[in-house]
């Protein structure tokens, strides 16, 4: 039971508003050529990291609830930790544990999926991100379910692969497809018909989020469900052909359909069962709505809506219960910062553009769609542009700042949080110059914001949720230097990094009342919640991880 926070006897709190700035995807990288953060002209960020207390926060692996420290962090688990003040076991770990224990296969949902195709003579379909990036999905989870399906005498299985190139190497698709085909050859038998049926790049089909571009989901529907699109004899042929014709990286590969002499090998039809095997929620909700939406579904014309049993790997939205069936229970995140602040009567603001709006609201609040208080919480979404991010690397940072400054100067909010997506969304494109530009655009906004914070006698915590822009080239593990292509150019990296992130305590008025523990190197993102509460003049709940400041 969450109760009101207890006032600190040592510090009454900052005089003005307290602002937390999340520079999405901005880690602390090395001095190599791939560090777009360091290469960019960022006088404001450079100054505050030099002149104000700065702590490095761990933002990956076990520090954010992932299985091991080889697992890169991501925005979802990062914002969970930032907002919750604690570390909860996250999707990848939950699914792996459920598979290892067999709990996933004992679930009512798994039994319903298998029973449905046994009775109807239909096909069991798996759709999901096809890599071991462990951010949205893991190919080992798919393999485990395929093995189990064969053991339970499912006769026909089709797999619809969404190519990654974002959480893994940008042109690594065949590194997954070729061994997977060998794996399927070992499973296939006269009584078990299994094959890849369709696919495409994750930024082209199916995996839209926050309803930014429903046409992606529509293209996925036509590809996976209707079997419409350019046909190939195999996924390997599709990838090699598109690469030679278009020269695009995996995440941008167009959709493809696998067909034989009789046509598409794996359309989705009445009586089939469908598993969307991604465990992360943001890019799983829209395709789930498409499968489960009734006659009132208006996002696009589905043409044909097969009667299937559909399930997600997890429940992607716990408040709206999307999807209605799922294989693994999501983490129950409780006692979040927002809930405590509401209970204490403090008014707070969350703002970002569409691409990260859900992160400062839904994920920050422990995967909760609704507010804890309509009166005390304000959410502002600045609509994102639907264009390739490298074409407008500044994104909506100026518009976000315009509105944020207006809200700061209103005097209405004691605590505010803002996410600037630039370092992450542009960093994912692999375009170094665009990412460098995105950091410079962000730095201009930091300068504007901090002037207002000072005018209001407030303070700011400037941090990030994970690294990305800090390592834009693949690093050779042996030499520690960026890898090069045959033509001498650097090999682009589009995934997150394992680097720590900065946490700067910017306070020109009350910093004499507390000490920042800069000597410590073991803090994670979850320590930000206690830090916020302390700087607001309250004792942090004992269940939270330790604050970065000492009162």
Catalytic site residues? 75
| Distance (Å, whole) CA 306 – CA 346 | 48
| Distance (Å, whole) CA 531 – CA 262 | 63
Token pair listed for 283: 């890019």
Among 88, 94, 91, which residue's Cα sits nearest to residue 545? 88
Contact 531, 459 (CB under 8 A): no
Decide: residue 500, CB within 10 A, 0-12 exposed, 13-18 middle, 19+ buried. Answer: buried
Contact 446, 21 (CB under 8 A): yes
Token pair listed for 31: 């001095």
Query: What DSSP character marks residue 165?
Result: S
Gap between the terminal Cα atoms of the chain: 26
């039809």: which residue's tokens? 269
CB atoms within 10 A of CB 512: 7
Contact 473, 491 (CB under 8 A): yes
Among 334, 333, 408, 336, which residue's Cα sits nearest to residue 378? 408
Contact 271, 116 (CB under 8 A): yes
Contact 364, 419 (CB under 8 A): no
| Distance (Å, whole) CA 370 – CA 373 | 9
- Residue 382, classed as helix, strand or coil, is strand
| Distance (Å, whole) CA 354 – CA 228 | 30
Count CA atoms closer than 13 A to 140's CA, side-chain side: 12
The DSSP element (H or E) to which 24 belongs, if any, is none
| Distance (Å, whole) CA 487 – CA 215 | 36
**DSSP state letters, 254-273:** PPEEEEETTEES----TT-E
Phi, psi of 202 (to 5 degrees): -65, -25
């Amino acid at each position: 039971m969450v109760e009101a926070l207890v006032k600190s006897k040592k510090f009454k709190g900052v005089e003005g508003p307290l602002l937390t700035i999340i520079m999405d995807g901005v880690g602390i990288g090395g001095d190599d050529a791939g560090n777009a953060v360091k290469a960019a002209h960022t006088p404001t960020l450079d100054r505050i990291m030099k002149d104000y207390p700065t702590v490095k926060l761990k933002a990956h692996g076990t520090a954010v609830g992932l299985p091991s420290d080889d697992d890169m962090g991501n925005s979802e688990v990062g914002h969970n930790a930032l907002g919750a003040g604690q570390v909860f076991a996250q999707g990848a770990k939950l699914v792996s544990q459920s598979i290892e224990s067999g709990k996933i296969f004992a679930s009512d949902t798994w039994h319903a999926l298998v029973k449905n195709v046994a009775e109807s003579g239909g096909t069991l379909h798996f759709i999901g991100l096809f890599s071991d990036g462990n951010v949205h999905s893991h190919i080992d989870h798919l393999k485990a379910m395929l093995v189990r399906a064969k053991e339970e005498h499912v006769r026909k299985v089709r797999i619809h692969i969404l190519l990654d190139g974002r959480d893994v190497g940008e042109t690594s698709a065949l590194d997954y497809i070729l061994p997977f085909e060998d794996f399927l050859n070992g499973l296939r038998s006269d009584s078990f018909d299994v094959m890849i049926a369709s696919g495409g790049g994750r930024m082209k089909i199916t995996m839209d989020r926050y309803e930014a571009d429903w046409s992606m989901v529509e293209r996925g529907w036509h590809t996976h469900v209707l079997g419409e699109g350019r046909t190939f004899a195999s996924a390997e042929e599709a990838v090699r052909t598109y690469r030679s014709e278009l020269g695009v990286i995996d995440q941008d590969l167009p959709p493809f359909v696998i067909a034989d002499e009789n046509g598409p090998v794996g359309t989705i039809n009445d009586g089939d069962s469908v598993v969307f095997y991604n465990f992360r929620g943001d890019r799983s909700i829209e395709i789930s709505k498409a499968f489960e939406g009734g006659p009132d579904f208006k996002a696009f014309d589905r043409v044909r809506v097969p009667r299937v049993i559909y399930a997600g790997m997890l429940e992607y939205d716990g408040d709206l219960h999307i999807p209605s069936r799922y294989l693994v229970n999501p983490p129950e995140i409780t006692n979040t910062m927002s809930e405590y602040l509401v209970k204490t009567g403090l008014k707070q603001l969350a703002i970002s553009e569409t691409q990260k709006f859900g992160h400062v609201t839904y994920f920050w609040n422990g995967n909760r769609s609704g507010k804890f208080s309509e009166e005390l919480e304000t959410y502002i979404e600045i609509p994102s542009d639907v264009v390739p991010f490298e074409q407008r690397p500044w994104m909506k940072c100026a518009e976000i700042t315009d509105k944020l400054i207006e809200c700061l100067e209103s005097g209405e909010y004691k605590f505010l949080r803002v996410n600037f997506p630039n370092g992450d969304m542009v960093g994912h494109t692999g375009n170094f110059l665009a990412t460098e530009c995105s950091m410079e655009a962000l730095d201009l906004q930091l300068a504007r914001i901090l002037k207002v914070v000072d005018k209001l006698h407030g303070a700011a915590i400037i941090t990030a949720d994970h690294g990305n822009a800090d390592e834009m080239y693949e690093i050779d593990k042996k030499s520690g230097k960026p890898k090069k292509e045959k033509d001498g150019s650097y090999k682009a990296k589009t995934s997150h990094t394992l680097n720590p992130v900065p946490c700067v305590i910017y306070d020109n008025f009350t910093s004499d009342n507390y000490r920042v523990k800069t000597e410590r190197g073991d803090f994670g993102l979850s320590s930000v919640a206690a830090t916020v509460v302390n700087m607001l003049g309250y004792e942090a709940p004992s269940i939270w991880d330790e604050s970065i400041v000492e009162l």
